[in-house]
Homo-oligomer: A and B are copies of this chain.
């Protein structure tokens, strides 16, 4: 038996690939971790970048999870309303030592009750929706750490999230080493990564895109 921790990254049709694959790349460099992906049926799925994601496992043969990583995407409602997915999370997911998310993956965990009683964050355009769950203390932070719950903000927060997971679970020194290997000294070409700093017309355009595709989510959460 390996004494490595099992780190499982869930993958699903239409997900934002980078939400899961940025943490996957970082966490796979940790020798204390056995990092893998799993989908509902163990079959390949297509991400929102039209990329084929081939999982290592399905729900039925997924190793016991020490760390669950839940990515998000523009259609998380499909995962929130899938009884099989939610049942897996309430059973196998709830048993994980660390329950974590990137981007709108927090909403999928929230629906399963896995963030109740904890601080958590999500993509900036979905903060208001996560706040509909009364038992969650929603914060607008890059990475929110609350005991064994670790959540990241939108998409690219997966890098800061994964380094934080390494620092919390293994050691800050290893996280620092990986940060150097990954040459993570970001230089964003613009200052538009936040609704506070982006031009108003760009913020409104993105908010409109998000609203257009999320009516079922909004209706579902309106009654919380």
> Interface of A with B (CB < 8 Å)?
16-18, 21-22, 24-25, 28-29, 35, 37, 44, 48-52, 54, 56, 103, 123-124, 142-143, 153-157, 159-160, 163-164, 167, 172-173, 175-177, 179-190, 192-195, 197-199, 202-203, 205-206, 209
Contact = CB atoms under 8 A, between A and B. Distances in A.
12 contacts: A18-B25, A21-B25, A156-B182, A157-B183, A172-B190, A173-B202, A177-B206, A179-B198, A180-B192, A185-B193, A185-B197, A186-B193
A179 B193 contact: yes
B179 A192 contact: yes
Given A21-B51, A37-B51, A179 B172 contact: no
Residue of A44, A157, A189, A209 with highest tally of chain B CB at under 10 A? A189
A185 B188 contact: yes
A17 B124 CA distance: 27
A21 to B, nearest CB: 5
Contacts of A48: 28
Contacts of A206: 177, 180-181
B28 A50 contact: yes
Given A24-B51, A25-B49, A202-B173, A183 B35 contact: no
Contact of A183 (B22, B56, B124): B124
A193 B199 contact: no
Contacts of A143: 187, 189
B205 A192 contact: no
